[in-house]
Amino acid sequence: MNDRLLVLVRHGESEWNLKNLFTGWHDCELSEKGVQEARAAGKKLKAQGLTFDIAFTSALKRAQNTLGLILEELGQTNIPIIKDQALNERDYGDLVGLNKDDARKKWGDEQVHIWRRSYDIAPPNGESLKDTAARVLPYYISEILPRVMRGDRVLVAAHGNSLRALVMVLDRHTTKSILELNLGTGVPMIYHLAADTTVASKQDLAAA
């Protein structure tokens, strides 16, 4: 039976999340809490009786390490893992490395809010959510979706904004409603897809 399984997990808390810094493509480690969140995600997936055939992650180690810890908990460290920067976090450009409070002092609350929460306005030398979607969605359509549709059980560990771009399509968000969506660190989202590639069912393990 083909249950067309796709599970998405945002990486656990990173050291820069903890310090309230704009992270983007900076390659920081998981915090201690982030390691615990990743292991907890693995335990939740194991409790659901889930196993996987293949996993995808970004080129950044906070997502890769989250994936590794999840697979450790599942006892599935030998499955193929594909890493691609198409799944990287949104690039925050000139904001990378800045404390979010300091950025507000420099550019003002309203401007920083626009950069963080508009759909198509990018920070200086960075990406908007629209730009992020422009690299995530073609990769999903060409590399991930075909595997799900042929019956591979697929796990994706990535980032808040790269996954928001994907969830926007899966959950049929508008360019407005997606701006209100925050994905928790280390929270698995379990999708089963219908034969026409739309979502047949979704389960969010945040409360589990």
Paired tokens of 172: 């049929």
Where does residue 53 rank: exposed (0-12), middle (13-18), buried (19+ CB within 10 A)? middle
User: What pLDDT is attached to residue 123?
Assistant: 95
Q: What is the DSSP string of 178-199?
A: GGG--PPTT-EEEEEE-TTSSE
Does the annotation mark 11 as catalytic? yes
Planar angle of CA 178, 114, 128, nearest 5 degrees: 60
User: What pLDDT is attached to residue 117?
Assistant: 86
Average pLDDT per 10 consecutive residues for the chain, totaling 208 residues: 88 95 96 97 97 98 98 98 98 95 94 92 96 98 98 97 96 93 94 96 83
CATH no. of 5-207: 3.40.50.1240
Cite the beta strand spans of 33-97 per DSSP E. Answer: 54-57, 81-83
| Domains of the chain by residue range | 5-207
Does the annotation mark 192 as catalytic? no
User: What pLDDT is attached to residue 207?
Assistant: 58
User: What pLDDT is attached to residue 206?
Assistant: 83
Point out the catalytic residue in the list 13, 73, 89, 127. 89
Contact by Cβ (8 Å): 186, 142: no
